[in-house]
Chain A
Amino acid sequence: MYVAVKGGEVAIRNAHRLLDDRRRGDRSVPALTLEQITGQLALAVDRVMAEGSLYDPELAAMAIRQARGDLIEAIFLLRAYRTTLPRLGPSRPLDTGRMRIERRISATYKDLPGGQLLGPTFDYTHRLIDPAMAGAEPIEAPERRPCHPDSNWPRVTDLLGDEDLIEPDGEGAEEPGDLTRDPVSFPTDRAVRLQALARGDEGFLLALGYSTQRGYGRTHPFVGEIRIGFVVVEVDIPELGFSICIGEIRVTECQMVSQFTGNGSESPRFTRGYGLVFGQSERKAMAMSLVERALRAEEFDEERLAPAQDEEFVLEHCDNVAATGFVEHLKLPHYVDFQAELELLRRLRREQEERSRAAQAAGADETREVAE
């Protein structure tokens, strides 16, 4: 229960002023620029865009700066911002098959057509803090190697699909459900699950994905392919009667190949989980694809015993803005609620005391009777 509480205006005003000061920090140190944040903290920006569910690197950088680097707070800011803008329409579905590749690896095929390209990865780094990071040493330009401009990058899943060894991409409605417009009702469908997971909290999905690997909803996964790069965004323009390219965005896609299914009539084949995330967000895309596969348990007649297989549990808890809102609201005044609880507690105590006094008195009477 909430009641209007007055008072504290001055304290709040001064707290916000103090926040501004602490955010800025030592005035003799130059303030962060948005270019520095988008350029040098690019993966934080990507995470905020993905979970804020709004692709706009500059806005995400502003949010990170305003939130003093608290990424969930920044995600919250971005979500709030999006509610102020009109939706002009949907894009055409992105064609990740025509991605300008920045990284592309497969753990299932060494020699996949198009090859394996590591790109700017943390993999194979020593994970030791580099003393150079304390300074501003000049950085070498990257190595370049000539390449064919029209390189072709078939998806690993298409290679398996050609032999019918893996399930197809997945049919569904041409007009997908949208959880930002309509409340989610369970059971829901794959499109809504993918939307929820794409904006879901990376930590939550990582933990759930990990849980599936540890036996809580076994999926026995392989990374069929991870690709990171730029895809063109196309939108139909009714005034013109055709679609146009409106720009390009960076995305990460993960195709997780999972254990087979099949029954008497159908031949066994691999199943899959899919991950697609704004920006360079490999861990998130992998976690998403693991959880996405686990959530399809029902489809494959798998026993639903683990949290990662429970659609309602996952979808209702993967949104960190909703989660932080409900957890953090506990800080708000609950004086009346608490007074009611306190009053109840006092009454219970009083009643218990009365009961025990009565019992004591009865006991004393009995003792007296026995003695007599």
Chain B
Amino acid sequence: MKAFSGTDDTSDARRGLMGALALASGKLLAERYATIEAEVPPAIAVRGPEVGLVMLRGRTGGSGAPFNLGEASVTRATVKLESGEVGHALVLGRDTRKARIAAHLDALWQRPEWRDRIDRDVVEPVRADRAETARAMAEETEATRVDFFTVVRGED
């Protein structure tokens, strides 16, 4: 789904970053973050991390009118760097550490001198981990594919 406004390459890339961090396992994200934490400018908490709810919506019939399916717990955090960059995070679940880390990484990523390092040391490993998890599930599911064959009856 495309952004609802202000779409440009940077915001597309930032959406990608934030999505990758949200989909990362909290444990792996914390591990990867620990490898850069000592070197990076610290985060100043602006808001949260706080736990709240998002109302998840479905669509009637799959792609019709929206309806409220039920809520999910989420955690959001906003931090800023001394240099002024503001980082946001909104992630499913109640892992406040994960939200704080994601917000800090989002702020750091806006600084050109940190972007490559974050991509390399955090984003790529968590993306690879998720891709592997997804591939495992897809392949396990694929092994349960029904291969129909028709039994020929009678004589030819």
Residues of A at the B interface (CB closer than 8 Å) are 49-50, 53-56, 58-59, 82, 85-97, 100-103, 110-111, 115-119, 142-147, 149, 151, 155, 157, 168-180, 190-192, 194-195, 198-199, 232-237, 239-249, 251, 253, 255, 272, 274, 276, 278
Q: Do B92 and A249 have beta carbons less than 8 Å apart?
A: yes
- Residue B57 lies at the interface, judged by CB distance under 8 Å to chain A: yes
Q: Do A97 and B62 have beta carbons less than 8 Å apart?
A: yes
The CA-CA distance from A370 to B90 in the complex, in Å, is 97
**Which residues on B sit within 8 Å (CB–CB) of A149?**
135, 138
The CA-CA distance from A149 to B136 in the complex, in Å, is 11
The A interface is mostly helix, strand or loop, or mixed, namely mixed
Q: Do A240 and B136 have beta carbons less than 8 Å apart?
A: no
Residues of B at the A interface (CB closer than 8 Å) are 1, 3-7, 11, 14-15, 18-19, 22-23, 50-74, 76, 78, 86, 88, 90-94, 134-146, 148
Q: Do B52 and A111 have beta carbons less than 8 Å apart?
A: no
**Which residues on A sit within 8 Å (CB–CB) of B1?**
92, 95, 234, 243
Q: Do A247 and B22 have beta carbons less than 8 Å apart?
A: yes
A170 in contact with B64 given A115-B145, A233-B54, A240-B11 (CB within 8 Å): yes
19 contacting pairs across A/B (C-beta < 8 A): A55-B70, A85-B51, A115-B146, A117-B146, A142-B143, A143-B140, A145-B145, A168-B64, A169-B59, A169-B61, A195-B68, A242-B6, A242-B7, A242-B15, A245-B15, A245-B22, A253-B62, A274-B60, A278-B69
User: B4 to nearest A CB, angstroms?
Assistant: 6
A171 in contact with B65 given A88-B53, A245-B22 (CB within 8 Å): yes
The CA-CA distance from A97 to B63 in the complex, in Å, is 8
**Which residues on B sit within 8 Å (CB–CB) of A100?**
134, 137-138
The CA-CA distance from A142 to B73 in the complex, in Å, is 31
**Which residues on A sit within 8 Å (CB–CB) of B73?**
54-56, 59, 85
User: A118 to nearest B CB, angstroms?
Assistant: 4
A-B contact count (CB 8 A): 255
**Which residues on B sit within 8 Å (CB–CB) of A88?**
52-54, 74, 76, 90
Q: Do A233 and B72 have beta carbons less than 8 Å apart?
A: yes
The CA-CA distance from A90 to B57 in the complex, in Å, is 7
Q: A55-B56, A92-B1, A176-B68 are in contact. List 9 more A-B contacts (CB 8 A).
A: A86-B52, A87-B55, A89-B54, A94-B59, A96-B59, A110-B148, A169-B64, A236-B4, A244-B90
Q: Do A147 and B139 have beta carbons less than 8 Å apart?
A: yes
User: B92 to nearest A CB, angstroms?
Assistant: 3
Which of B68, B78, B142 makes the CB contact (< 8 A) with A191?
B68
Q: Do A249 and B72 have beta carbons less than 8 Å apart?
A: yes
Q: Do A96 and B11 have beta carbons less than 8 Å apart?
A: no
The CA-CA distance from A310 to B141 in the complex, in Å, is 39
Which of B74, B88, B141 has most chain A Cβ within 10 Å? B141
Which of B56, B64, B94, B134 makes the CB contact (< 8 A) with A249?
B56
Which of B14, B69, B137 makes the CB contact (< 8 A) with A94?
B69
User: B57 to nearest A CB, angstroms?
Assistant: 4
A199 in contact with B70 given A171-B65, A241-B3, A246-B22 (CB within 8 Å): yes
**Which residues on A sit within 8 Å (CB–CB) of B137?**
100, 102
User: A139 to nearest B CB, angstroms?
Assistant: 13
Q: Do B23 and A247 have beta carbons less than 8 Å apart?
A: yes
Q: Do B62 and A155 have beta carbons less than 8 Å apart?
A: yes
**Which residues on A sit within 8 Å (CB–CB) of B92?**
55, 233, 246-249
Q: Do A244 and B22 have beta carbons less than 8 Å apart?
A: yes
Q: Do A144 and B140 have beta carbons less than 8 Å apart?
A: yes
Q: Do B141 and A117 have beta carbons less than 8 Å apart?
A: yes
User: A127 to nearest B CB, angstroms?
Assistant: 19
Closest to A179 in B: B68
**Which residues on A sit within 8 Å (CB–CB) of B6?**
240-242
Q: Do A247 and B91 have beta carbons less than 8 Å apart?
A: yes
The CA-CA distance from A329 to B73 in the complex, in Å, is 30
Q: Do B56 and A87 have beta carbons less than 8 Å apart?
A: no
**Which residues on A sit within 8 Å (CB–CB) of B64?**
168-172
**Which residues on A sit within 8 Å (CB–CB) of B18?**
244-245
Q: Do A170 and B141 have beta carbons less than 8 Å apart?
A: no
**Which residues on A sit within 8 Å (CB–CB) of B134?**
100
A276 in contact with B74 given A82-B53, A176-B65, A241-B6 (CB within 8 Å): no
The CA-CA distance from A360 to B92 in the complex, in Å, is 79
**Which residues on A sit within 8 Å (CB–CB) of B50?**
86
Q: Do A169 and B67 have beta carbons less than 8 Å apart?
A: no
